[in-house]
Amino acid sequence: MALPFCYRFGMSKQIAVRLPDDLVDFVDEIVDSGTERSRAAVVTRALEHERRRNLAERDSRILARTGPDPELAGLAEYAAGASLDLA
């Protein structure tokens, strides 16, 4: 018995979210342009981006509190020059 594609990577939950008209219009423009396949995909991408931003902010606070780790200096130099397109 084959599993439906949507279950192969874990189940998802459906939620209802109220957004201002201008944000819905913006989301629809993204979908209409073909950049994303659905409103849900746009919202998912935005939330994943926000989650990464929050983690980076947390890491920055830890680094500010503890100071740099000499063992990670090379990685930090590489990351400073890396592209910020995390899509």
pLDDT tens per residue, range 7-30:
656 778 899 999 999 999 999 999
Phi-psi region of 41 (alpha: psi -120 to 50; beta: other; left: phi over 0): alpha
Say if residue 34's pLDDT is above 80.
yes
* Length in residues, the chain: 87
Q: Parse the chain into domains and list their residue ranges.
A: 20-65
What are the φ and ψ backbone dihedral angles of 13, each rounded to 5 degrees? -110, 140
For 9, half-sphere exposure in the C-beta direction (CA atoms, 13 angstrom radius) is 3
Structure-model confidence comparison of residues 29 and 76, the more confident one: 29
Say if residue 38's pLDDT is above 80.
yes
Question: For the chain, what is the mean pLDDT?
Answer: 86
Work out the angle at residue 76's Cα, subtended by the Cα atoms of residues 75 and 81, and round it to the nearest 5 degrees: 100
| Radius of gyration, alpha carbons of the chain | 19
